[in-house]
Amino acid sequence: MSQRIPLETMLDVFVRNLRNVGFESDRARRCASIFAENSAVGVSSHGLNRFPEFIDFVRRRIVNPAAEMVCTARFGAWEQWNGGLGPGPLNACDATIRAIELARRHGIGCVGLQQTNHWMRGGCYGWMAAEEGLAFMAWTNTKPNMPPWGATDCHLGNNPLVLAVPRPSGPVVLDMAMSQFSFGRLETYLREGKPLPVAGGYDADGVVTTDPGAILSSNRVLPIGCWKGAGLAMLLDSLAALVSGGDTTCRIGQRDPEYGVSQVFIAVDVTRAGASRGDGLMDELVADLRASRPDGENGDVRYPGQRIREMHRESLEKGVPVDPAIWEQVVSGL
Amino acid sequence: MSQRIPLETMLDVFVRNLRNVGFESDRARRCASIFAENSAVGVSSHGLNRFPEFIDFVRRRIVNPAAEMVCTARFGAWEQWNGGLGPGPLNACDATIRAIELARRHGIGCVGLQQTNHWMRGGCYGWMAAEEGLAFMAWTNTKPNMPPWGATDCHLGNNPLVLAVPRPSGPVVLDMAMSQFSFGRLETYLREGKPLPVAGGYDADGVVTTDPGAILSSNRVLPIGCWKGAGLAMLLDSLAALVSGGDTTCRIGQRDPEYGVSQVFIAVDVTRAGASRGDGLMDELVADLRASRPDGENGDVRYPGQRIREMHRESLEKGVPVDPAIWEQVVSGL
């Protein structure tokens, strides 16, 4: 990451690539914006670095650039939609907008989305909703990539979960997979030759380790909280499949590569007049957390999403950090 | 646990005690049933063992035995209710029933419940909803009892979360706090003189440990997945306060003992005709999980709630396991 690129330049380059593989103009711009913003907030694993694979998936028609999500059932505040194997980020964005519309009408709104694709950085949908003043939850299932507790082979997805709340001074957004470290994070530690800060999985002998390479080889990542994260992953998968009417991790694992995942988007319109709510309560909560006694002299107790805001500001000022080799590849056309 | 008591006997004894502290007949029976069932499924920490403290709280008027939850705002599929500092289990039970009613009408239903009390075993509300065929999520905040990641003092609650799905051969229900071990579980390990199976917190020197006594002394439990569980706890607290209009963990911590917590109950009516869903999908998912390759010769890969069903069956056959000293105390009247 020795180079920074203006956000606008990155957008233009992404749009050009997307247009080349068949994205219609407006959709190319929206999709480019999601990838560029993900890099801008420091999550290049789901921004620039993932962009070449995304283009490859479109070329191979695993992702259909023209498919828009279609409503298959309406039950009032809950709806089921089919993503038609369209671009995951666009489908997730549309599903978030629809959940917000439903919440504005019914107080709470829920969209179950089946047959969609990887949404890249789930957190961005949380920011969208919370910046509109809504409380928000969303999750996705994935292919099997995590062993159940007490097992050695992968039967669970790491099923990222997003929780977001609005706050006068800016949203608080949590975006986390059910594995202690994402695969992108393991690869980063490996590349930098660093051990993980806490155990992240097992080595080939089934011993818990902080060695990212050993974990990537054994393919046995550790669920957060051992049996608890494994349980969470299983229930999030179950709920995603039931609410969307789509496939479970088990079914998704029957094909390769991963496509046709199931997602849930729930928004609550906590701005409603007449709702009992403590204005300023969220700022008070964050202030209380930040006032915790740090463990260590230069400790700093952060809240989820805090770094995201800082990174975004920096990227707007100085440009978006990029891996020069990947950037060069994308600029010259994928 | 060297003694077993018929469930009916336990119910009668609980009802008598509840009547003595001012519970009206029907409410005494419902409340007794929740406590007895919690013991019957093996969670005596929130059944018999917690019953004396509950009665004490009613005597001290921290819990108002006559208070019923009151609706303060309706927004369609989302409602806010005030628990009036009534009995936590009865309020949570009523809120679950109301969320189900809303889901039957609107597809999804959400109840935010403020000014309520400890719901004891959250899982029982998940079983209620899933046995009616609904997908269900609920969570509660608590007083501060867990440090944020990188901090040494408690500014987060361990905020238990319940996720439940229906299944032809019986619900799958996850009920978990955001700390690696509940305080009840730490005390059980301490009493039995056993180390924890994995690290559960810090000792007095700030070193991660499996010694339950050291953790209880330092009051520094470990969140599941380190920073991830701490983030989850913060967001669940934020959502509980915003959706219910009630107090955050930070506010609840300003009084002692813990009362007036905030809870959320969300049900989705996945039985709806016209909903796209794979019947048998949940059974397939559980079967796939159970077919994982166990780590160790006599390994058994279980799903959340599996043991609960086994324990319940055993309690109905042989009686509910009790700690004889606590049982004697409750029988002789608290």
pLDDT digits (tens, 9 = 90+) for B135-146: 999 999 999 999
Torsional sign, CA B113, A132, B227, A310:
negative
With cut-offs at 50, 70 and 90, classify the pLDDT of residue A61.
Answer: very high
- Residue A207 tokens read as 């011993």
CB-side exposure of A188: number of CA atoms within 13 Å? 15
User: Are A107 and B75 within 8 A, CB to CB?
Assistant: yes
pLDDT digits (tens, 9 = 90+) for A159-168: 999 999 999 9
Residues β-bridged to residue A267: A109, A136
Flag whether residue B149 sits within 8 Å of chain A, measured between CB atoms: yes
B275's CB contacts (< 8 A; 6+ apart) are: A73, A75, A80, A245
State the Cα–Cα distance between residues B146 and B186, nearest whole angstrom: 14
Radius of gyration of chain B (CA): 20
Q: Distance from B207 to chain A by nearest Cα, in Å? A: 11
Residue whose tokens read 């469930």 = B7
Confidence check: pLDDT of A1 > 70: no
ipTM above 0.90, yes or no: yes
User: Are B47 and B10 within 8 A, CB to CB?
Assistant: no
Residue-averaged pLDDT of chain A: 96
| pLDDT cut 70: percent of chain A above it | 99
Flag whether residue B331 sits within 8 Å of chain A, measured between CB atoms: no
Flag whether residue A70 sits within 8 Å of chain B, measured between CB atoms: no
Which among A324, A266, A309, A263 has a CA at the least distance from the CA of A37? Answer: A309
| B281/A151 Cβ within 8 A | no
The pLDDT value recorded for residue B278 is: 67
| pLDDT cut 90: percent of chain B above it | 92
pLDDT digits (tens, 9 = 90+) for B205-231: 999 999 999 999 999 999 999 999 999
| pLDDT cut 70: percent of chain B above it | 99
| B149/A293 Cβ within 8 A | no
- Tell if the pTM clears 0.95, that is, is over it: yes
Residues β-bridged to residue B109: B267
Mean pLDDT, residues B11-28: 98
pLDDT digits (tens, 9 = 90+) for B248-263: 999 999 999 999 999 9
| A302/B150 Cβ within 8 A | yes
Residue-averaged pLDDT of chain B: 96
Going along chain A from its start, the domains and CATH numbers come out as 1-66+306-334 (1.10.1530.10), 68-177+227-271 (3.30.1370.60), 180-222 (3.30.60.50)
The pLDDT value recorded for residue B216 is: 96
Distances (CA, A) of A80 to A68, A295, B280, B285: 14, 46, 19, 21
Q: Distance from A251 to chain B by nearest Cα, in Å? A: 9
Residue whose tokens read 């990537």 = A216
Active-site residue (options: B46, B106, B118, B155): B46
The pLDDT value recorded for residue A297 is: 80
Active site residue B106: no
Which among A290, A305, A279 has a CA at the least distance from the CA of A164? Answer: A305
| A278/B245 Cβ within 8 A | yes
With cut-offs at 50, 70 and 90, classify the pLDDT of residue A245.
Answer: very high
| B105/A284 Cβ within 8 A | no
With cut-offs at 50, 70 and 90, classify the pLDDT of residue B299.
Answer: confident
Torsional sign, CA A64, A67, A73, A77:
positive
With cut-offs at 50, 70 and 90, classify the pLDDT of residue B296.
Answer: confident
The pLDDT value recorded for residue A188 is: 86
Flag whether residue B269 sits within 8 Å of chain A, measured between CB atoms: yes
User: Are A140 and A260 within 8 A, CB to CB?
Assistant: no
Pick the residue of A101, A116, A172, A174 with the most B CBs within 10 A to test the interface with B by mutation: A174
Confidence check: pLDDT of B1 > 60: no
Q: Cβ of B300: how many Cβ atoms within 10 Å?
A: 11
CB proximity under 8 Å: B 213-242 to A: 223-226, 228-229, 231-232, 234-239, 241-242
User: Are B146 and B154 within 8 A, CB to CB?
Assistant: yes
Flag whether residue B108 sits within 8 Å of chain A, measured between CB atoms: yes
